[in-house]
Homo-oligomer: A and B are copies of this chain.
Amino acid sequence: MSNNNNNTDMATKDLLTLDNPVFCCYLFWATVLVVKMLLMSLLTALQRFRYKIFPNEEDLFFKNIEVQFDDPHVERVRRAHRNDMENILPYFIMALIYVCTNPNPLVACNLFRVAAVARIVHTLVYALYPVPQPSRIIAFATMMLITFYMAAVVALRTLSFI
């Protein structure tokens, strides 16, 4: 009962502050995913140096090589990185505005955890150690379904403002 009152109070003032444990949980896992995404850039750079595949004239750090595209090792990492952008960046916004609707803390925090772990698994099975499907599809679908769930919650709460 008092918990419920507390929730109602929060809805009108403090949701996007460190006083809200749900927001803190979002902050932590969003940070993990930002770091994971930036590491994809470094992984791409690593692959470029390992296989000496550079797309720009000014990047030819080794002698006797030319600009080159479409190397499968580099392109696999870039596809994984693009998939991150397609899914994680909309998720950041969706989860942030989901926090604003003052969701149940237990549900919300576990969604943040599962979504973040799913995308880390996605990177492992796509960019690092390609394994047979459907491992990647499951990891991909997990965050997508969580984002759709959050979208449904927010849309129902704000439908009157269409």
Spell out A's residues near B (CB within 8 Å).
11-19, 21, 23-28, 30-32, 34-35, 37-38, 40-41, 55-59, 61, 69-70, 75-76, 79, 81, 85-87, 89-90, 92-94, 96-97, 100-102, 109, 126, 130-133, 136, 144, 147-148, 151, 154-155, 157-162
Contact = CB atoms under 8 A, between A and B. Distances in A.
A12 B14 contact: yes
Secondary structure type dominating chain A contacts: helix
Given A58-B131, A100-B17, A34 B151 contact: yes
A50 B59 CA distance: 25
Contacts of A12: 14, 17-19
Nearest to A36: B90
Given A28-B161, A158-B28, A148 B38 contact: yes
A38 B87 contact: yes
25 contacts: A11-B18, A12-B14, A12-B19, A13-B14, A13-B17, A15-B16, A18-B100, A18-B101, A26-B97, A27-B101, A27-B154, A27-B161, A28-B161, A28-B162, A30-B93, A30-B94, A34-B151, A38-B147, A41-B87, A55-B79, A56-B130, A58-B136, A59-B133, A89-B90, A92-B93
